[in-house]
Amino acid sequence: MTELKKIDPTRIRSFIRRQGRATAGQKQALESHWDKYCLSPQADFETGLAFGRQAPLIVEIGFGNGDSLAAMAEAHPGLNYLGIEVHRPGVGHLIMLLEQRGIGNVRIFHHDAVEILEQKIPDQSLAGLHLFFPDPWHKRRHHKRRIVRPSFLDLLNKKLAVGGYFHAATDWQDYAKDMLKTLSADSGLKNTSPTGDYCPRPDYRPLTKFENRGLNLGHGVWDLIFTKL
């Protein structure tokens, strides 16, 4: 068994643990099915053992309540999906969805995503990495907390297989511009947009009720998809 290395406590984190209160259904899912879907951050990670098979691995950082992750996994049973989330009620909600729909190709880490990527995910092993609607840290003094920054791209380049992709989506235009600038400056990544900026929402990314509500109010959403060279 491999324990997670201690991380420098002064390192800037891109999230805040907002645990909130789990519903009765989420609590039951957490108590009854944790071991079925959730992986220990203290144990070794090997996809064949975790999923019971070998298949292309897609990681989603910060899956929220898990609606979109469950929908993608259900629509693409030939892929393995690994969700990483620090919000415990969100983990419970995703487990509940997986049980209700009989979805078996999802596993979960309830932990800091950067630490999991650094210490558990083998290099050049990911077919894709999703980052949908991350905290935009919209105040300028908090921009240093945004997850998409050069140090994260160094990690991304290590973990993606050649031809693997990184897909980010945000409803904050300023963050979209910032991500586009940062990603475009990385020589190891190629923008898949034919216009060199943003992509239309691909069919595999579900339209969530919150996103749809925002679109109905006239809010924009920007998708960025880059591949590893």
CB of 41 closer than 8 Å to CB of 4: yes
Rg (CA), the chain: 17
Cα–Cα distances in angstroms (integers) from residue 133 to residues 60, 70, 120, 219, in the given order: 11, 16, 24, 13
User: How many Cβ atoms from other residues are within 10 Å of residue 161's Cβ?
Assistant: 16
Beta-bridged to residue 222, according to DSSP, are 170
Two structure tokens written together for 119: 């210490």
Cα separation, 92 vs 31, in Å, equals: 9
Q: What are phi and psi of 59, to 5 degrees?
A: -105, 135
Tell me which residues are annotated as active site: 135
Q: Pairing mode, if any, of strands 57-61 and 126-132?
A: parallel
Cα separation, 189 vs 184, in Å, equals: 7
DSSP-assigned letter for residue 154: H
